Amino acid sequence: MKKNILFFTRTMGLGGTENVVLQLCDIMVDKYNVIVCSSGGVNVEKLKYMGIKHYTIPDIEDKSLSNFIDIFIKLNKIFKKEKIDIIHTHHRMASFYTFLLNKIYNFKFFVTVHNTFLDKRILTKLSYTGANIVAVGEQVKSNLCDFYKIDSNKVTVIKNAVKPFEGEIKEVEIISRYKRQGNYIVGNIGRLSEQKGMKYFIEAIPIVLDRIHNVKFFIIGDGEEKEMLQSVIKRNGLEESVILLGYRKDVQNIMMQLDLIVLSSLWEGLPLTPIEAFSVKKTVVATAVDGTIEIVKNNQNGVTVNSKDSIALGNSIIKLLENSELRESYEKNAFKTYEEEFSFEALINNYRCFYEEN
């Protein structure tokens, strides 16, 4: 008989954490009865398509007493109704609720930690008590062990991965048109949030255009900073050079049509964007933060610069656009990195072993 597993996260909206949850659903659905619990989002439709039940609860980031009680009551009902054997959380507050639930019921408690943090030391350590923990990268594990003093034997590193791109390229008309006009195409893909540092990417663009005039810049994603970023574009007179493409489901397809990919994040656990880029033989200019440097090796498979440094970001984009041989060399190394370290088969095997051993 299949065991019942509940994946508990904040949302099923846009973002790397949500993509990892979808990957785990895909991996585990044959061996477990999979249920997901979150405040909802666009990826709930994907869960329905996969035949996976989703329960909608209030936002776990709302820490008011009434919301706390409401969520805990709903979780208790879900647990009883579905006869849950395993809860696997993907958010710190989700882990806290699960820690409390684990005081009442007997079940296996797993956590995947997606980012590094330097706050809420007591809450974090309490939330992960009794859990077997997956860290998405070595930097995340170091953060858990060094800052939060969590036993290293309780933390397993399983690096994020993406499936290889196997479909045909479906041209995006606006990208194709600009390429036919002789433009380089540079893209930055991610949620339009503070974490992704899109503002610094936009501020690097005039530096590039002063040197190379035939470049068009695409921002692929959506989020709470959209209006602010539009004002930054306008303030810098970049309306003709920067295109906000919005959220796209076909990230690897888009990447195949770009000359260069930029990741301007201010912090990361182990980001999917450079892995996705490497999987389609593209190189990256990235900020040297946390887990990103576990993927992007400076002057080997890409270029890294300090976060918030728009000048260095712009100069590195220029460097790779002007030197096609160097860019192609990094692209070859990038794909090799993907095959050796971030293949989807490795992710499947590592998670299945983790479940069986714990």
Q: With 80 as the cut, is the pLDDT of residue 14 above it?
A: no
* 206 within 8 A of 238, measured Cβ to Cβ: yes
Which two three-digit tokens encode residue 328? 């192609």
The closest alpha carbon to 178, from 238, 240, 239, belongs to 240
For 292, the enclosing helix (H) or strand (E) is none
Contacts 24+ apart (CB under 8 A), 42-48: 42/12, 42/13, 42/14, 42/247, 43/12, 43/13, 43/14, 43/18, 44/12, 46/12, 46/22, 47/12, 47/22
Question: What's the mean pLDDT when you consider all of the chain?
Answer: 95
Q: Return the pLDDT at 88.
A: 98
pLDDT above 80: residue 288: yes
Q: Which residues lie below 8 Å from residue 292, measured CB to CB, with a gap of 6+?
A: 263, 265, 268, 270, 271, 274, 286, 304
Residue boundaries of the structural domains of the chain = 3-161+343-357, 173-341
Per-residue pLDDT band at 249 (split at 50, 70, 90): confident
Cα dihedral 21→23→26→31 (10° resolution): -70
Going by C-alpha positions, the residue among 182, 220, 184 that lies closest to residue 201 is 220
Q: How would residue 1 be classed by pLDDT, with cut points 50, 70 and 90? A: confident
CA gap 272, 268 in Å, rounded: 10
pLDDT on residue 203? 97
Contact indicator for 292, 208 with CB cutoff of 8 Å: no
Buried/exposed code over 183-219 (b: 16+ C-beta within 10 A; e: otherwise): bbbbbbbbbbbebbbbbbbbbbbebbbeeeeebbbbb
- Model confidence pLDDT, tens digit, residues 54-71: 999 999 999 999 999 999
Whether residue 254 contacts residue 189, with contact meaning beta carbons closer than 8 Å, is answered with yes
* Fold of domain 173-341: Rossmann fold (3.40.50)
> Can you read off the two tokens belonging to residue 171?
């041209």
| Secondary structure of residue 71 in the 3-state scheme | helix
| Three-point CA angle 135, 136, 140, nearest 5° | 60
Phi and psi at residue 222, in whole multiples of 5°? -145, 165
Gap between the Cα atoms of 96 and 204, Å rounded: 40
The pLDDT score that the predictor gives to residue 242 is: 98
Residue 183: is its pLDDT beyond 80?
Answer: yes
Q: Which fold has domain 3-161+343-357?
A: Rossmann fold (3.40.50)
pLDDT for residue 13: 84
DSSP letter, residue 3: E
**CA distances, 184 to each of 103, 179, 217 (Å):** 57, 7, 8
Does 122 have pLDDT greater than 80? yes
Do domains 3-161+343-357 and 173-341 share one topology? The answer is: yes
Q: What is the pLDDT of residue 43?
A: 92
| pLDDT average, residue stretch 102-131 | 93
Report which residue type is found at 69: I
